[in-house]
Structure 1
Amino acid sequence: MFNLRGARANRDHYLLLLGADPLLRERAVVSALRTYPGPVFGMVESTVVNANRMFDHVLPANPYNAKEALAAVEAIERETGLTPDAVVPVLELNLHVAVAIATRYGLPTLAEESLALARDKHTMKAAFEQAGIPCARHRLFGSLDELQEVVKELTFPVVLKPRDFAGSVGVVKVDGPDGLAAAFDHCRASLLEIAPTYDFADGRYQVEEYITSTHEVSVEVINYEGQRAVLAVTDKAKGGAPYFTETGQLVPSRETGNAALRELALRACEALLIDRGIAHVEVLLNGSEEMKVVEVAARPGGDGIMDLIDRVYGFNPYDLHIAAYRRTIDRLPEIPAELQGVGAIGFLKAPAGAITAIADVPAQDGPEIARYVTSKVGDTSRAATSYLGRNGVIEVFEPGAAQEAAEAVQQRTTELAARRSTELFTVTEN
């Protein structure tokens, strides 16, 4: 613990920020330290091994377990008298933890009804259907036998996915009945790999009809006590079937000016009763008029999308997200008309196999402004079936570039990420 009795921390409360320590979400910590007039706390299981020194204090607890997290908050209260006066979730898997702690201390938070809708892909789609939000038809299953039965009510191709996670984990397209068994094995094995970390249960899956689309976007919506506004639209670069892994992000999107898309994103948040903070709305488009909502996360978009918005539009979206949980928003903004440039992110991907060397590739003149290698020598590089298969990330920003140049920037970023991956990683195939 740092000196919480100093001038900056001369008060009885702190802001608890959950899920801001992973790569590409650190700007949430910057925002909290800049905007909150007191200590900012984080939470990790091992504060000796994984403490983030940007926080004033890190509570030693599992940030994905509501019971453990609340116990840690109560323990620091007994020790110091400090209590939270805002609990801000940044990751989807911290939402229920934030709600539990905020409810205990009577703080603004996401409504329990909204949490139930937004954290389960089935209840989410049921809410969409009731509200007339276009989305894929779906059915639930818990075993291969159940899948083979319920899929008879749908039309192939279909997509399998866990009900409780994101990042493309377990998502797989199936073209016909013969592929169901292998697809089920992939979906289930993917979930079970991460289940111990996030306390997920086996047997919670859904199958939905495949949506034909030309492109996918995400829409960042700020929600605040009955008001909503679109902050930005992002183009997503995707890998092909059967996994559709995201390979990059681009701001601004070609669909930034699509009024029907923006209205659909607002309606989707309303259907899920999301009433606080930034929500991340994913939409598939076929052309620019036919649209279907994939899902909505009641938290800011990941993969550095907030950072791209910051560079392109000149404001940190986390400022608004935190202010919504502090109840300090005066009015909601709209998408700024003026761009600072075009920003993109591309993910590094080593070939599958054992990583035997990682080269020191020097920085060069050009649009690459940041590079992070997340693998190390001795790691096994896996197939790109989800975010778990990434080996790093590059960030690109072209200042002064116009909207019309955005897709060319994304293409250059994709090519640069592929080139850097080749330059960086030496792999021995298994």
Structure 2
Amino acid sequence: MSDRKTPRYVVFVESPLTGAGQDCARFLLEQGVTPVVVAARPPAMAPSLIRDYAELGVEVRACDTHDADAVADACREIAADGELVGVASVYEYYCDMGAQVAALLGVPGPDPAAVAACRSKASMRAAMASTPGLNPRFEVCSSAEEAASAAASIGFPVVVKPLDLTGSLWVRRCGTAEEVDAITREIMGIGEYLGQEVAPRVVVEEYVPGAEYSAEVMHGKVLGLTEKICSAPPLFLEMGHIFPAAVTGDRERLLVEKAEQAVKAIGLTWGPAHVELKLTAGDKDARVIEVNGRIAGDRIPEAVRIASGVDMCRLHMTALLGDTPDLNVVCDRTAVVHFLMSAPLGRLDAIDGVAEAQALEGVHEVHMRPGVQPGMVYRANGSNRDRAAWIIAEGADRDEALGRAVAAGEKLTFTWSPVDESEVRG
């Protein structure tokens, strides 16, 4: 009788650029589980993803990742000689597909309806509306005229957002009806972005003026809070993350309570969630800005790991494999993710100082955003995609960690030359 173990497989639907997919794959390989990525166009994936998965020995298989039946069929084919133990996605635009297929095939995963609700800001707001104090005032609008009327009713300034994009894309603070009209018409004319159909609707929300945080959640419980460093309005670019956030007492309890109420209201009580919140004026209350049915992006899981030793990717994969993750997080360090921005418009000629930045005390990562390399021509679009690089550093406390990250950033030099608008591709 053969003692060969039955092969076990986990299928990921697409992969983000943040490294979370590779981190999850590494853990699965350590557990003797074979990860496979299905993607609509494997050759068109970012070169860094193609390289990393090849180095890990992870197969990337072509599949129509917008069709649940096609993904389910691919999963069955992949696991034909063994056992399919999980289906998921750690990529924002496909986490709902991962949940849908997991439910279809009877493997562990979150409620597909809850994850789908997180993919639409309208559905997300509707799900939280029955719990007082979670939502800012808001209206979902289908025209520029409706948006201007909603803004006047809510009161300026307001925030206008696309319904179903991520990364702060086309999110703007508006102080006048004219500004609301302009950004609403721009959003409604997008049509498609990164292969995703963009709904021709917007959410107009009350502007919440306080500091911003995110709650890193697993199985409905907040593991810790992350402080966000954001750009000045009218944009909402995330320029850095600090874990754990230096909040204590009533403010910490408030943020944790709001985040846990939010995921409960949506029904997202299995697996990871990333909840963004802002304090109101006076810091006496908070409102939920967004709920994501996945682990955080932007290397926040790596900051959590450095500060506490807890790997959120491993927690997610542990749950996916049917086991119970340990949700106790104790931090003895602070970790910072610090972003550097691209030029508004230009050709990148050279990147210098990487080795010098990496050599500084406490620095863990100095990493270019995928695609950022000499010869690249770029035009900023007012989103998180405008970031050229990130640095992760640790310290004994917030000030030391942030100081080290900023010092490393000052070692990096990006040399840009001017270009004409007509030279920009994509």
Whole-angstrom CA distance in 1 between matches of 2:185 and 2:350 = 33
Which amino acid in 2 is paired with 1:372? H
Question: Residues 102-113 of structure 1 correspond to what in structure 2 (within 5 A)?
Answer: 102-113=102-113
Q: 2:294 aligned with 1:302, yes or no? A: no
* Residue matched to 1:183: 183
- Runs (5+) with no aligned partner, structure 1: 1-5
Whole-angstrom CA distance in 2 between matches of 1:24 and 1:273 = 27
In structure 2, the CA distance between the partners of 1:207 and 1:362, relative to structure 1 (3 Å rule), is: closer
SS in 2 for 1:276: coil
Whole-angstrom CA distance in 1 between matches of 2:328 and 2:279 = 22
SS in 2 for 1:345: strand
Tell me how far 1:30 sits from its aligned partner. Answer: 2.1
Tell me how far 1:181 sits from its aligned partner. Answer: 2.5
Q: 2:207 aligned with 1:205, yes or no? A: no
Identity value in percent: 22
TM-score between the two structures when normalised by the length of structure 1: 0.85
In structure 2, the CA distance between the partners of 1:369 and 1:76, relative to structure 1 (3 Å rule), is: closer
Q: CA RMSD in A?
A: 2.6
- Runs (5+) with no aligned partner, structure 2: 421-426
Which amino acid in 1 is paired with 2:257? E
Contact in 2 for aligned 1:346/1:414 (Cα 8 Å):
yes
Contact in 2 for aligned 1:158/1:208 (Cα 8 Å):
yes
Q: 2:25 aligned with 1:23, yes or no? A: no
- Shifted more, 86-95 versus 286-295: the winner is 286-295
Contact in 1 for aligned 2:11/2:75 (Cα 8 Å):
no
Which amino acid in 2 is paired with 1:387? N
CA deviations over 1:392-416 (Å, ceiling 9, x no partner) = 2122223xx1xxx304533553464
CA deviations over 1:195-215 (Å, ceiling 9, x no partner) = x512x24313211111121x1
In structure 2, the CA distance between the partners of 1:312 and 1:145, relative to structure 1 (3 Å rule), is: same
Q: 2:253 aligned with 1:259, yes or no? A: yes
In structure 2, the CA distance between the partners of 1:322 and 1:59, relative to structure 1 (3 Å rule), is: same
Tell me how far 1:62 sits from its aligned partner. Answer: 4.5
Q: 2:293 aligned with 1:293, yes or no? A: no
Which amino acid in 1 is paired with 2:255? L
Question: Residues 20-419 of structure 1 correspond to what in structure 2 (within 5 A)?
Answer: 20=15, 22-25=17-20, 26-34=22-30, 36-48=31-43, 50=45, 51=50, 52-53=53-54, 54-77=56-79, 80-188=80-188, 191-192=190-191, 194=193, 197-198=195-196, 200-213=197-210, 215-223=211-219, 228-255=220-247, 258-286=252-280, 288-329=283-324, 332-336=326-330, 338-339=331-332, 341-364=333-356, 365-366=359-360, 367-374=362-369, 375-383=372-380, 385-398=382-395, 401=396, 405-407=397-399, 409-410=401-402, 412-414=404-406, 416-417=408-409, 419=410
Tell me how far 1:183 sits from its aligned partner. Answer: 2.0
In structure 2, the CA distance between the partners of 1:324 and 1:117, relative to structure 1 (3 Å rule), is: same
Whole-angstrom CA distance in 2 between matches of 1:182 and 1:415 = 39
TM-score between the two structures when normalised by the length of structure 2: 0.86
In structure 2, the CA distance between the partners of 1:141 and 1:407, relative to structure 1 (3 Å rule), is: farther
SS in 1 for 2:355: coil
Which amino acid in 2 is paired with 1:59? R
In structure 2, the CA distance between the partners of 1:344 and 1:210, relative to structure 1 (3 Å rule), is: same
Q: 2:417 aligned with 1:427, yes or no? A: yes
SS in 1 for 2:329: coil
Contact in 2 for aligned 1:64/1:93 (Cα 8 Å):
no
CA deviations over 1:91-118 (Å, ceiling 9, x no partner) = 2222222123212311122213313422
* Residue matched to 2:424: none
Whole-angstrom CA distance in 2 between matches of 1:384 and 1:420 = 26
Whole-angstrom CA distance in 1 between matches of 2:112 and 2:418 = 49
Q: How many aligned residue pairs are there?
A: 403
SS in 1 for 2:294: coil
Contact in 2 for aligned 1:276/1:325 (Cα 8 Å):
no
Contact in 1 for aligned 2:14/2:91 (Cα 8 Å):
yes
Whole-angstrom CA distance in 2 between matches of 1:293 and 1:415 = 33
SS in 2 for 1:130: coil
Tell me how far 1:370 sits from its aligned partner. Answer: 1.8
In structure 2, the CA distance between the partners of 1:407 and 1:290, relative to structure 1 (3 Å rule), is: farther
Contact in 1 for aligned 2:163/2:199 (Cα 8 Å):
no
Tell me how far 1:161 sits from its aligned partner. Answer: 0.5
CA deviations over 1:330-377 (Å, ceiling 9, x no partner) = x642331x41x2211111212222224123324233233321223123
Whole-angstrom CA distance in 2 between matches of 1:37 and 1:380 = 42
In structure 2, the CA distance between the partners of 1:306 and 1:349, relative to structure 1 (3 Å rule), is: same
CA deviations over 1:50-85 (Å, ceiling 9, x no partner) = 4422253222125455344334224435xx444522
CA deviations over 1:299-353 (Å, ceiling 9, x no partner) = 1000000000111101211111112223210x642331x41x2211111212222
In structure 2, the CA distance between the partners of 1:427 and 1:248, relative to structure 1 (3 Å rule), is: farther
Contact in 2 for aligned 1:144/1:181 (Cα 8 Å):
yes
Which amino acid in 2 is paired with 1:390? R
Contact in 2 for aligned 1:230/1:334 (Cα 8 Å):
no
Which amino acid in 2 is paired with 1:103? A
Which amino acid in 1 is paired with 2:60? V
Tell me how far 1:235 sits from its aligned partner. Answer: 0.7
Contact in 1 for aligned 2:368/2:389 (Cα 8 Å):
yes
- Shifted more, 229-238 versus 347-356: the winner is 347-356
Tell me how far 1:43 sits from its aligned partner. Answer: 2.1
Which amino acid in 2 is paired with 1:361? G
Whole-angstrom CA distance in 2 between matches of 1:275 and 1:362 = 41
Which amino acid in 1 is paired with 2:305? D
Contact in 1 for aligned 2:137/2:206 (Cα 8 Å):
yes
In structure 2, the CA distance between the partners of 1:271 and 1:20, relative to structure 1 (3 Å rule), is: same
Which amino acid in 2 is paired with 1:135? N
